[in-house]
Chain A
Amino acid sequence: MTQNNLFQSPTPEQLTERMDHIPSNTMMACPYCQTKFFKTQLDEFRQCPECHYGFRLLAHDRIKLLCDSFEETEKDLAPSATDFPDEKYQNKIKQAKANTGLNESVLTGIAKIADQDLALGVMDPYFIMGSLGSQTGEKITRLFELATKKKLPVVLFTASGGARMQERIFSLMQMAKVSRAVSEHKKAGLFYLTVLTDPTTGGVTASFAMQGNITMAEPHALIGFAGQRVIEQTIHQKAPKDFQRAETLMKNGFVDLITPRDKQKEVIAKLLRWHQAK
C-alpha cells in the first residue's frame, strides 16, 4: 500500500467488497441514534453504547438484571383468548406465549431488591407488543391488591402498544379496573414507582403508566398517548422529531427522572428505602 492511497477514502466498490467480508450478524444498529456497532459491544443491559437507548427486553431477562430474588404470581392464570375465539388471535397468543414464556403480556411477582421487598410487574414488549388484554389487566390488578394487603410498594415497568383491540371494549375496561386498584394502593399510603420503557403508548399511558408517585423513564423511550401516524393524519403535517421521547416528556413535566438500565437497581433501591410504609 503506497503512502498515497493510505489517505484516500475507499471507493464504493472497495467498501462493498470489504462489507462482503463482514458476517451479517456481527453488527447492529441503534433504532434511536442509528449508530452501528459490533454486537459484542452490547452489554448485559442491552443498551446502545452511544446513546444508552435500551433495546427491548424479555420480562424474564429484566427480572434477572434487577432482582435479587423473584417469586412469580398468577403464573397459572389462563390467557383471556378463550373468551375471544378468533383463530388468528388465538394463534397470536400461542406464538407470544412461546416467545416469552409468559401467560400474558405482563410478568408479576414478589421480589427483593437490595434487601427490600416489593411487588413487581414487568410488561413484555415481545408479547403482542405488551398490549393490554383482559388478563394483563387482571394480573396487574391482582398485583396491586396483593401489595395493598401486604403493605408493599409496587414497581411497574411499562411497555405497551396500548389497548388490545381484539378484546374490544373489555380491553378498555382494564384501564378503569387497574386504576381503581392503584387508587386503593395509593389510599393505603403505599409507594408506586412506574418505569416507562420503549414503547409506552395508548391506553397504558392513559392509565397506570401515569399514576405513579414517581415516574422514571429509560433514555429515549417512546412515550405517548396517540400514535404518530394518527396525529399526522389529523394535523396533516409531520410531527416534530422526538416529540414523544422520554427527554421531551421530562422537559414538559411528565417524567421525574431518566435512568439508564445499569443505574436502575441502585436508584430504585434508594427510592424504595426512602418510601418505607408507615
Chain B
Amino acid sequence: MTKKTAYDKVQAARHPSKITADNLISALFEDFIELHGDRHNKDDEAIKAGIGTLNHQPVTIIATQKGTDTKENIDRHFGSPEPQGYRKALRLMKEAERFNRPIITFVNTPGAYPGVDAEYNGQGDAIAQCLIEGAQLSVPYLSVIYGEGGSGGALALACGDQVWMFENSTYSVLSPEGYAAILWKDAKLVEQASEDLKLTPEQLIKEEIIDKIVPEVNDITSAKKLQKLLTAEIDKLQALSTEDLLNQRKQRFRKF
C-alpha cells in the first residue's frame, strides 16, 4: 500500500461512508437522550447534542453532523452550524458544568455556515462566546475530530482539555480549496494546498496541536477501543482539582 497523501486524507475525511454522528453516539454510549434548541429562536440540526452515559457515567455529548441524504444535508447545511447551533452547544456545556458532567464533543464540519442570516444572527459572536466560556468550564472537556475540522467553526467546539483526531480526519485554518483560491487564485491546486496546510493528524500531533490519534470507528471492536480510551481520559481529568484542570487547559493553549 502506498503512503496516503494529505489530499487522500482530505477525501477520506469527507467520504460519504464516514461514520455518522448518530452511529458514533450509539456505538460509544450505552444510553442517550437528545436535547434541542438554543432558547432564543432555533434548534440547529447541524448540531446533535444531549446527555448520554459513558461507562454508566452521565456525560454531555455535542456532535456536529452532516446529512446522509439531500434533505438532511440541506437542513444541516452539510454539517456547518449556524450561530444558534453554537449557542445550543454552549447552553448545554454550561448545564454540564452546573451538574458536574464531563463534556465530549465530536467534530466533523467544513466550517461555520457562511450565510446572510448567519451573519445577522451573529456567527462571530456565537463562536467567540464558545471560545471565552470554553476556556473556563470547570468540568473535563474533551474533543474528537472525526472528519473535517474546518476553521473557527471546529475550534469553537474543540477548545478544551484534550483534542483527538480520527486517523482519517483533517484540521485546518481554512479548507484546502479556500487556501488555494486565495493564495494562488486557483482552487484546482487543492492537492498542493493540502500538503502546505499540514492538516493531517500525523502532522498535527507533531506540532502538539492535537493530543492523540485514534482509529476510525467502524465496527464493535473499534468502538469498544475508543470507549475505553475516552473512559480512561475522563477518569484522569476528573481526578484533577478544578484549579489543576483549568491550569492544564491554560498551558495547552498558551504555548501556541
Contact = CB atoms under 8 A, between A and B. Distances in A.
Interface stretch (A2-10, A39-47, A167-175, A256-264): A167-175
Interface in A241-257: 243-244, 248, 252-254
Contact of B119 (A141, A167, A175, A231): A231
A39 B129 CA distance: 42
B166 interface: no
A173 B253 contact: yes
Interface string B202-213: 001001010000
A125 to B, nearest CB: 18
Contact of A205 (B124, B132, B197, B256): B124
A205 B128 contact: yes
A225 B112 contact: yes
A165 B254 contact: no
Given A170-B256, A177-B256, A182 B132 contact: yes
A248 B124 CA distance: 14
Nearest to A210: B128
B173 A168 contact: yes
B152 A180 contact: no
A226 B114 contact: yes
Given A206-B128, A252-B122, A239 B253 contact: no
A165 B183 contact: yes
Contacts of B146: none
B1 interface: no
Interface string A158-194: 0000010101111111111101101100110000000
A230 B159 contact: no
B230 interface: no
Given A165-B173, A168-B197, A179-B159, A252 B128 contact: no
A226 B128 contact: no
Contacts of A168: 172-173, 196-199
B182 A230 contact: no
Contacts of A130: none
B135 interface: yes
Contacts of B197: 168-169
A240 B133 CA distance: 32
Contacts of A175: 131, 152, 155
Given A137-B256, A168-B197, A172-B173, A179 B122 contact: no
B173 A207 contact: no
Interface residues of A, number: 48
B185 interface: no
Contacts of A141: 254
B164 interface: no
B123 A225 contact: yes
Interface of chain B, helix or strand or loop or mixed?
Answer: helix
Contact of A169 (B122, B171, B178): B171
Interface string B109-145: 0001111101111111101110111111000000000
Given A137-B256, A171-B173, A182-B132, A206 B120 contact: no
B173 A163 contact: yes
A234 B152 contact: no
Contact of B123 (A179, A226, A240): A226
Given A163-B173, A168-B197, A210-B124, A179 B135 contact: yes
Contact of B256 (A173, A211, A231, A243): A173
A186 B132 contact: yes
A250 to B, nearest CB: 12
A175 B155 CA distance: 9
B29 interface: no
B123 A174 contact: no
B174 interface: yes
B151 interface: yes
B174 A180 contact: no
12 contacts: A165-B179, A165-B182, A173-B209, A175-B152, A175-B155, A176-B159, A177-B254, A180-B249, A205-B128, A225-B152, A240-B116, A254-B125
Closest 6 CB pairs of A and B: A226-B114, A205-B124, A173-B256, A210-B128, A179-B131, A206-B127
